[in-house]
Structure 1
Amino acid sequence: MIELLFVACMSGDPQSCRDRSMIFTNDIGLMGCMMGAQAQLAKWVQTHPGQSISGWKCRIAGAEGRAA
Protein backbone atom coordinates (compact mmCIF):
# COMPACT_ATOMS: atom_id res chain seq x y z
CA MET A 1 0.00 0.00 0.00
CA ILE A 2 1.02 3.58 -0.61
CA GLU A 3 0.80 6.27 2.08
CA LEU A 4 0.45 10.02 1.62
CA LEU A 5 2.05 11.32 4.80
CA PHE A 6 1.49 14.99 5.61
CA VAL A 7 1.89 17.50 8.42
CA ALA A 8 -1.26 19.42 9.37
CA CYS A 9 -0.97 22.57 11.49
CA MET A 10 -3.59 24.75 13.14
CA SER A 11 -3.79 28.01 11.17
CA GLY A 12 -3.98 30.10 14.36
CA ASP A 13 -1.09 28.22 16.00
CA PRO A 14 1.48 27.10 13.40
CA GLN A 15 3.54 25.42 16.14
CA SER A 16 0.67 23.00 16.81
CA CYS A 17 1.22 20.36 14.12
CA ARG A 18 0.44 16.65 13.75
CA ASP A 19 1.51 13.96 11.32
CA ARG A 20 -1.45 12.56 9.40
CA SER A 21 -1.74 10.13 6.52
CA MET A 22 -3.97 8.74 3.79
CA ILE A 23 -3.55 5.17 2.56
CA PHE A 24 -3.94 4.20 -1.10
CA THR A 25 -3.95 0.77 -2.71
CA ASN A 26 -0.89 -0.52 -4.55
CA ASP A 27 -2.49 0.05 -7.96
CA ILE A 28 -1.91 3.81 -7.57
CA GLY A 29 1.85 3.48 -6.99
CA LEU A 30 4.27 6.12 -5.74
CA MET A 31 4.16 8.15 -8.96
CA GLY A 32 0.36 8.21 -8.91
CA CYS A 33 0.46 9.37 -5.30
CA MET A 34 2.91 12.17 -6.16
CA MET A 35 0.76 13.30 -9.09
CA GLY A 36 -2.51 13.28 -7.14
CA ALA A 37 -1.31 14.42 -3.72
CA GLN A 38 -2.02 18.13 -4.09
CA ALA A 39 -5.62 17.51 -5.14
CA GLN A 40 -6.17 15.08 -2.24
CA LEU A 41 -4.63 17.50 0.24
CA ALA A 42 -6.77 20.37 -1.08
CA LYS A 43 -9.88 18.25 -0.45
CA TRP A 44 -8.64 17.44 3.05
CA VAL A 45 -8.07 21.11 3.88
CA GLN A 46 -11.60 21.97 2.68
CA THR A 47 -13.07 19.49 5.16
CA HIS A 48 -10.78 20.57 8.02
CA PRO A 49 -11.23 24.35 8.41
CA GLY A 50 -8.61 26.11 10.47
CA GLN A 51 -5.84 23.72 9.43
CA SER A 52 -3.12 23.98 6.83
CA ILE A 53 -0.58 21.58 5.33
CA SER A 54 3.08 22.35 6.02
CA GLY A 55 4.68 19.39 4.25
CA TRP A 56 3.94 16.05 2.60
CA LYS A 57 5.48 13.02 0.91
CA CYS A 58 4.44 9.73 -0.61
CA ARG A 59 5.99 6.48 0.58
CA ILE A 60 5.40 2.78 1.02
CA ALA A 61 2.96 2.44 3.93
CA GLY A 62 4.66 1.75 7.24
CA ALA A 63 8.07 3.17 6.28
CA GLU A 64 9.83 5.22 8.94
CA GLY A 65 10.25 8.99 8.82
CA ARG A 66 8.35 12.26 8.99
CA ALA A 67 6.69 14.27 6.25
CA ALA A 68 8.85 17.35 6.98
Structure 2
Amino acid sequence: MLLLLSICLVAQPDQCREDRINMSFEAKNPFVCLRHAQSTLATWQAEHPEWHVARWRCAARGSLPKDL
Protein backbone atom coordinates (compact mmCIF):
# COMPACT_ATOMS: atom_id res chain seq x y z
CA MET A 1 0.00 0.00 0.00
CA LEU A 2 0.96 3.61 -0.47
CA LEU A 3 0.14 6.71 1.51
CA LEU A 4 -0.51 9.57 -0.87
CA LEU A 5 0.19 12.96 0.68
CA SER A 6 -0.64 16.52 -0.17
CA ILE A 7 2.03 18.54 1.63
CA CYS A 8 2.62 22.28 1.97
CA LEU A 9 5.58 24.25 3.23
CA VAL A 10 5.00 25.60 6.74
CA ALA A 11 6.72 28.90 5.90
CA GLN A 12 4.87 29.26 2.57
CA PRO A 13 1.48 27.52 2.83
CA ASP A 14 0.65 28.24 -0.82
CA GLN A 15 3.63 26.12 -1.92
CA CYS A 16 2.23 22.58 -2.02
CA ARG A 17 3.09 19.33 -3.74
CA GLU A 18 2.21 15.66 -3.65
CA ASP A 19 4.38 12.93 -2.16
CA ARG A 20 3.99 9.25 -1.40
CA ILE A 21 5.15 6.89 1.31
CA ASN A 22 5.64 3.22 0.55
CA MET A 23 4.18 1.21 3.39
CA SER A 24 6.32 -1.73 4.51
CA PHE A 25 3.58 -4.23 3.77
CA GLU A 26 1.31 -5.09 0.88
CA ALA A 27 -2.20 -5.45 2.22
CA LYS A 28 -5.23 -5.88 0.04
CA ASN A 29 -7.50 -4.39 2.68
CA PRO A 30 -7.31 -0.56 2.84
CA PHE A 31 -8.35 -0.64 6.50
CA VAL A 32 -4.96 -2.15 7.35
CA CYS A 33 -3.32 0.85 5.72
CA LEU A 34 -5.60 3.23 7.60
CA ARG A 35 -4.75 1.52 10.88
CA HIS A 36 -1.00 2.03 10.34
CA ALA A 37 -1.20 5.42 8.63
CA GLN A 38 -1.21 7.62 11.74
CA SER A 39 2.08 6.31 13.10
CA THR A 40 3.67 6.41 9.63
CA LEU A 41 2.51 9.99 9.12
CA ALA A 42 3.79 11.01 12.56
CA THR A 43 7.22 9.58 11.74
CA TRP A 44 7.26 11.30 8.35
CA GLN A 45 6.20 14.62 9.90
CA ALA A 46 8.96 14.41 12.52
CA GLU A 47 11.52 13.85 9.74
CA HIS A 48 10.16 16.73 7.61
CA PRO A 49 9.34 19.59 10.05
CA GLU A 50 9.35 22.18 7.25
CA TRP A 51 6.32 20.49 5.64
CA HIS A 52 2.70 20.21 6.79
CA VAL A 53 0.50 17.29 5.67
CA ALA A 54 -2.68 18.90 4.36
CA ARG A 55 -4.36 15.69 3.14
CA TRP A 56 -3.55 12.03 2.80
CA ARG A 57 -5.11 8.75 1.77
CA CYS A 58 -4.22 5.13 1.17
CA ALA A 59 -3.90 3.64 -2.31
CA ALA A 60 -2.98 0.23 -3.63
CA ARG A 61 0.28 -0.01 -5.56
CA GLY A 62 -0.28 -0.15 -9.28
CA SER A 63 -3.57 1.75 -9.15
CA LEU A 64 -2.48 5.30 -8.38
CA PRO A 65 -5.24 7.87 -8.74
CA LYS A 66 -4.68 11.00 -10.78
CA ASP A 67 -5.50 13.29 -7.84
CA LEU A 68 -5.39 13.12 -4.08
How would you bin the TM-score normalised by the shorter chain?
A: 0.7 to 0.9
Which ranges in structure 1 are unaligned for 5 or more consecutive residues? none
Matched, 1:4 2:3: yes
- Larger displacement relative to structure 2 (56-65 or 44-53): 56-65
Segments of 5+ residues of structure 2 without an aligned counterpart are: none
Q: How do residues 16-27 of structure 1 correspond to structure 2 at under 5 angstroms?
A: 16-24=15-23, 25-27=25-27
SS, match of residue 52 in structure 2: strand
Normalising by structure 2, report the TM-score.
Answer: 0.81
Residues 19 and 66, structure 1, Cα contact 8 Å, conserved in 2: no
Give the drift of 1:65: 2.5
Q: Which amino acid aligns with 1:3?
A: L
Q: CA deviation at 1:28?
A: 7.0
Q: How many equivalent pairs are there?
A: 66
- What secondary structure is seen at the aligned counterpart in 1 of 2:15? strand
Moved >4 Å (runs of 4+)? none
In the alignment, the residues of structure 2 paired with residue 15 and residue 37 of structure 1 have an alpha-carbon distance, to the nearest angstrom, of: 25
With the length of structure 1 as denominator, give the TM-score of the two structures: 0.81
Secondary structure at the counterpart of residue 39 of structure 1: helix
Q: Distance in 2 between matches of 1:5 and 1:18?
A: 11
